[in-house]
């Protein structure tokens, strides 16, 4: 009896599977209907997956097609918080045929293109419910430039409450052209044409004749690229508080996240016998050229910049001389200790919040108190560097890699530019008085010992991602599996063991600040703490209760608030969302919701096969003071150190980089504080090891 019921079930199931396979629109219809009844996280995730599938083609999902055909963004304006004002703006541009065509490159640094993308993200942002968000996205997907659409959708999901719980697929699988080179893309096309599945090795740009190639694994790491592009989506320079909320400490985070990228890059250079990056000078040559060997999906090849290029004025962007004037005005503000706002009033920057304003004017973001006067050093410099291959537009070349956050870190000039800006920030922080013993002490707290459980070992892993979205579909040509294979820096998991004494008569909430600092420079000369502090990389920052007496605090490298885990592939996101929708179960991908953060596998610098010694620096500070005014959850989503907490204030009241961000003229001050300790650790690179 049981057997026959089971075989009945199998039969019914088979029939259902056959029906579904033969009639794909049946499935689409289902999701369309279920979308109209409710919007669970699983549905939303599925919708986002569908919207981003093969973005250069018309949607293949029947329900999205139906929406795109029948939906009128201005049909019912009660679905928007602004009664359709944003939708009206975009619809006018659309109806006037002013929007950028499809199959054209897109760059956020292009003012008009950015404005168009922001018009769409504003519409999405004004939606009260998911059905409004989905319908507008489906409608404009078919109408707008693909690059603009993807950008608007990503920032829409990130900044709208409606996007909570959605994991945005890794961009290297949505717009693979921005992450891999032409050679591999060409192979992907021929694999598709010849219907032969394939996995193709992506090599780092350049040759052994180019020393910079030794560290290309850092600037070209797809996870690092995702971190950078996502940070700029989480904290966009175009953000205005009228969009709904204030992005807390955006200007300071701009400094800190790029300072850390610069310091990490120098650690990798140290690991490869290279000198640290030299800063960029407007009046000197740009020493390293760059040949990206990559192409846009539409718009040709990324332009090349030869070695030893003299800076040229760029038509439509800026004169080199203007950049020098901007720089001078910023240095003047630092020397004066104040910024002059548009209306003439002065803003004191020699106070803890000062760096915030400085970050705002250097980037510049819409938070800048006077963009007219202080210009836009960072953004304009990106465009200037991106255009040095064709400064007068003689060859009508598309934007350079420096004009996209996805690709910018590939170009060695990115780090020169950021070293240059980092030195401006340093000049500012150096104008503050050093911390005193009293500033640094955490009464009754002693760090007795710091140790690492496990070995600090780095290696390169092999990783594959799908290139299927790089190639076009055809009615008669089936998709075959096409993957890129990359080598990525990785390390073995390890645990910090911090032995502490709490001599107070109660528990104490403590902030643990862990940094890795170089001991020697590239010439083997020992660095003082004052010389090393600006080169340190942040490994972790966390808040934890320390009980009375002695206790060893253990913390896994995997839990670092600086890092994010590997992102789920687009394929797995689709599979998980489809399964959850079909079975009516919950979908919880919250561990992957934020893509901003150093990839977990890149927490440690590569080091050398014979090993390198570094200082592991641990400062334990008063957690109650540090977190005063913030909520009691001490995890804060787990990625707060360099990316903050979405929709909330930054959880640590101390300056970013504390306590190493100010001058340390006398090391004994640090040595004399019992709640700060550093120990020597050794990192070894295993070149043969793969995992
Ligand atoms: Cu950046």
Query: What distance in angstroms lies between residue 309's CA and the mean position of ligand 1's atoms?
Result: 23
Q: Is the pLDDT of residue 378 over 80?
A: yes
Domain hosting residue 351, numbered range: 207-431
Over the stretch 481-502, which tens digit does the pLDDT of each residue have? 999 999 999 999 999 999 999 9
Helix (H, G, I), strand (E, B) or coil at 192: helix
Does 160 fall in a domain? yes
Say whether both 293 and 345 belong to one domain: yes
Domain boundary among 115, 144, 166: 166
Q: Is the pLDDT of residue 29 over 80?
A: no
The per-residue pLDDT for 12 is: 43
Over the stretch 181-190, which tens digit does the pLDDT of each residue have? 999 999 999 9
How many secondary structure helices (H) and strands (E) does the chain include? Answer: 24, 16
Say whether both 271 and 403 belong to one domain: yes
Does 124 fall in a domain? yes
With cut-offs at 50, 70 and 90, classify the pLDDT of residue 207.
confident
Query: What distance in angstroms lies between residue 691's CA and the mean position of ligand 1's atoms?
Result: 30
Query: What distance in angstroms lies between residue 410's CA and the mean position of ligand 1's atoms?
Result: 12
Domain containing residue 114: CATH number: 1.20.1370.10
For 85-89, 201-205, 610-614, which range has the lowest pLDDT when averaged over its residues?
Answer: 201-205
CA proximity to 414, closest of 400, 398, 395, 393: 400
Q: Is the pLDDT of residue 24 over 80?
A: no
Over the stretch 450-484, which tens digit does the pLDDT of each residue have? 999 989 999 999 999 999 999 988 777 788 999 99
CA proximity to 417, closest of 371, 373, 385: 385
Over the stretch 49-75, which tens digit does the pLDDT of each residue have? 999 999 999 999 999 999 999 999 999
The per-residue pLDDT for 22 is: 39
Query: What distance in angstroms lies between residue 585's CA and the mean position of ligand 1's atoms?
Result: 39
> Which residues neighbour 493 within 8 Å (Cβ) at sequence distance 6 or greater?
454, 556, 557, 558
The per-residue pLDDT for 690 is: 61
Q: In Å, what is the CA distance from 191 to each residue of 70, 199, 481?
A: 37, 9, 9
Higher-scoring residue by pLDDT: 9, 635: 635
Query: What distance in angstroms lies between residue 598's CA and the mean position of ligand 1's atoms?
Result: 13
The per-residue pLDDT for 244 is: 86
Over the stretch 214-245, which tens digit does the pLDDT of each residue have? 999 999 999 999 999 999 999 999 999 998 89
The per-residue pLDDT for 58 is: 95
DSSP 498: E
With cut-offs at 50, 70 and 90, classify the pLDDT of residue 597.
very high
Domain containing residue 676: CATH number: 2.60.40.1520
Does 202 fall in a domain? no
Domain count of the chain?
3
Over the stretch 150-172, which tens digit does the pLDDT of each residue have? 999 999 999 999 999 999 999 99
Say whether both 630 and 539 belong to one domain: yes
The per-residue pLDDT for 34 is: 42
The per-residue pLDDT for 691 is: 55
Query: What distance in angstroms lies between residue 378's CA and the mean position of ligand 1's atoms?
Result: 9
Say whether both 393 and 537 belong to one domain: no
The per-residue pLDDT for 28 is: 41
Say whether both 364 and 499 belong to one domain: no
Does 635 fall in a domain? yes
Cα Rg, the chain, nearest whole Å:
26
Query: What distance in angstroms lies between residue 262's CA and the mean position of ligand 1's atoms?
Result: 10
Q: Across 575-658, where does the E strand assignment appear?
A: 598-599, 612-622
3-state secondary structure 111-152: HHHHHHHHHHHHHHHHECCHHHHHHHHHHHHCCCCHHHHHHH
Domain boundary among 137, 166, 195: 166
Over the stretch 635-685, which tens digit does the pLDDT of each residue have? 888 899 999 998 899 999 999 999 999 999 999 999 999 999 999 999 999
Q: Is the pLDDT of residue 141 over 60?
A: yes
Does 19 fall in a domain? no
With cut-offs at 50, 70 and 90, classify the pLDDT of residue 38.
low
Say whether both 268 and 317 belong to one domain: yes
Torsions phi, psi for 269 (to 5 deg): -65, -45
- Cα distance between residue 72 and residue 86, in whole Å: 14
Say whether both 505 and 531 belong to one domain: yes
Does 13 fall in a domain? no
- Asked if residue 659 has a cis previous peptide bond (ω within 30° of 0), the answer is yes
Query: What distance in angstroms lies between residue 353's CA and the mean position of ligand 1's atoms?
Result: 21
Say whether both 515 and 416 belong to one domain: no
Looking at the chain, the whole-number percentage of residues with pLDDT higher than 90 is: 88
Sign of CA dihedral 345, 349, 350, 351: positive
Say whether both 301 and 445 belong to one domain: no
Looking at the chain, the whole-number percentage of residues with pLDDT higher than 70 is: 94
Query: What distance in angstroms lies between residue 231's CA and the mean position of ligand 1's atoms?
Result: 8
Mean of pLDDT values over 543-559: 96
CA proximity to 140, closest of 40, 28, 64: 64
Query: What distance in angstroms lies between residue 258's CA and the mean position of ligand 1's atoms?
Result: 6
The per-residue pLDDT for 25 is: 39
Is 269 in contact with 310 (CB distance < 8 Å)? Answer: no
- The chain-wide mean pLDDT, for the chain, equals 92
Pairing of strands 456-466, 676-685: parallel
Say whether both 383 and 441 belong to one domain: no
pTM score, whole prediction: 0.93
Domain boundary among 150, 166, 182: 166
Query: What distance in angstroms lies between residue 185's CA and the mean position of ligand 1's atoms?
Result: 26
Say whether both 406 and 270 belong to one domain: yes
Query: What distance in angstroms lies between residue 132's CA and the mean position of ligand 1's atoms?
Result: 32
Query: What distance in angstroms lies between residue 257's CA and the mean position of ligand 1's atoms?
Result: 8
Q: Is the pLDDT of residue 30 over 90?
A: no
Does 31 fall in a domain? no
Query: What distance in angstroms lies between residue 45's CA and the mean position of ligand 1's atoms?
Result: 28
Say whether both 616 and 511 belong to one domain: yes
- Cα distance between residue 559 and residue 314, in whole Å: 45
Does 487 fall in a domain? no
Find the helix packing angle between 111-126 and 146-159, rounded to 10°: 40
The per-residue pLDDT for 16 is: 44
């Amino acid at each position: 009896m049981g057997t026959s019921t089971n075989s009945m079930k199998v039969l019914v199931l088979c029939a259902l599977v056959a029906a579904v396979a033969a009639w794909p629109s049946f499935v689409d219809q289902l999701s369309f209907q279920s979308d109209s009844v409710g919007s669970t996280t699983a549905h939303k995730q599925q919708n986002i997956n569908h919207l981003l599938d093969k973005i250069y083609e018309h949607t293949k999902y029947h329900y999205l097609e139906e929406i795109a055909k029948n939906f009128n963004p201005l049909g019912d304006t009660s679905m928007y918080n602004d009664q359709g004002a944003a939708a009206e703006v975009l619809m006018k541009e659309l109806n006037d045929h002013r929007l950028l065509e499809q199959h054209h490159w897109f760059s956020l640094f292009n003012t008009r293109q950015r404005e168009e993308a922001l018009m769409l993200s504003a519409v999405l942002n004004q939606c009260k419910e998911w059905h409004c968000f989905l319908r507008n996205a489906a409608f404009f997907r078919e109408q707008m430039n693909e690059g603009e659409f993807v950008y608007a959708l990503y920032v829409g999901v990130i900044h709208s409450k409606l996007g909570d719980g959605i994991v945005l697929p890794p961009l290297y699988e949505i717009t693979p052209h921005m992450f891999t080179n032409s050679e591999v893309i060409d192979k992907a096309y021929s694999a598709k044409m010849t219907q032969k599945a394939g996995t193709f090795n992506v090599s780092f740009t350049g040759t052994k004749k180019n020393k910079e190639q030794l560290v290309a694994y850092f600037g070209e790491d797809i996870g690092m690229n995702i971190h950078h592009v996502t940070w700029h989506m989480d904290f966009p320079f175009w953000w205005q508080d009228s969009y709904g909320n204030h992005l807390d400490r955006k200007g300071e985070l701009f400094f800190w996240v790029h300072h850390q990228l610069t310091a990490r890059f120098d650690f990798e250079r140290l690991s490869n016998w290279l000198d640290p990056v030299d800063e960029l000078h407007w009046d000197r040559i740009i020493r390293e050229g760059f040949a990206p060997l990559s192409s846009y999906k539409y718009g040709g090849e990324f332009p090349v910049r030869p070695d030893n290029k003299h800076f040229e004025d760029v038509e439509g962007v800026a004169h080199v001389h203007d950049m020098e004037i901007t720089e001078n005005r910023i240095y003047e503000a630092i020397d004066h200790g104040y910024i002059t706002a548009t209306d003439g009033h002065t803003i004191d920057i020699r106070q803890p919040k000062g760096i915030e304003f400085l970050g705002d004017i250097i980037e510049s973001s819409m938070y800048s108190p006077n963009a007219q006067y202080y210009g836009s050093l960072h953004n304009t410099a990106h465009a200037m560097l991106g255009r040095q291959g064709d400064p007068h537009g003689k060859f009508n070349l598309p934007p350079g890699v420096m004009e996209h956050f996805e690709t910018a870190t590939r170009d060695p000039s990115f780090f020169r530019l950021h070293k240059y800006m980092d030195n401006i920030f340093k000049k500012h922080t150096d104008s503050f008085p050093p911390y005193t013993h009293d500033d640094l002490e955490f009464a009754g707290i002693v760090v007795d010992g710091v140790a690492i459980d496990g070995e600090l070992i780095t290696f390169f892993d092999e990783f594959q991602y799908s290139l299927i979205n790089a190639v076009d579909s055809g009615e008669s040509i089936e998709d075959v599996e096409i993957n890129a294979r990359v080598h990525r820096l990785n390390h073995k998991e390890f645990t910090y063991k911090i032995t502490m004494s709490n001599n107070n008569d109660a528990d104490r909430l403590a902030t643990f600040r862990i940094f890795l600092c170089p001991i020697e420079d590239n010439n083997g000369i020992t660095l003082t703490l004052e010389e090393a502090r600006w080169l340190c990389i942040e490994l972790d920052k966390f808040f934890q209760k320390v009980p009375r007496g002695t206790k060893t605090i253990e913390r896994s490298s995997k839990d670092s608030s600086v890092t994010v885990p590997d992102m789920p592939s687009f394929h797995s996101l689709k599979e998980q969302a489809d399964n959850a929708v079909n079975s009516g179960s919950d979908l919880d991908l919250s561990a992957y919701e934020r893509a901003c953060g150093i990839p977990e596998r890149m927490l440690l610098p590569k080091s050398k096969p014979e090993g390198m010694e570094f200082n592991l620096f641990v400062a334990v500070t008063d957690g109650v003071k540090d977190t005063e005014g913030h909520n009691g959850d001490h995890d804060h989503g787990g990625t707060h150190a360099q990316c903050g907490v979405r929709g909330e204030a930054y959880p640590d009241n101390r300056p970013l980089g504390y306590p190493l961000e100010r001058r340390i003229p006398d090391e004994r001050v640090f040595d004399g504080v019992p709640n700060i300790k550093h120990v020597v650790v050794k990192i070894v690179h295993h070149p043969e090891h793969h995992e």
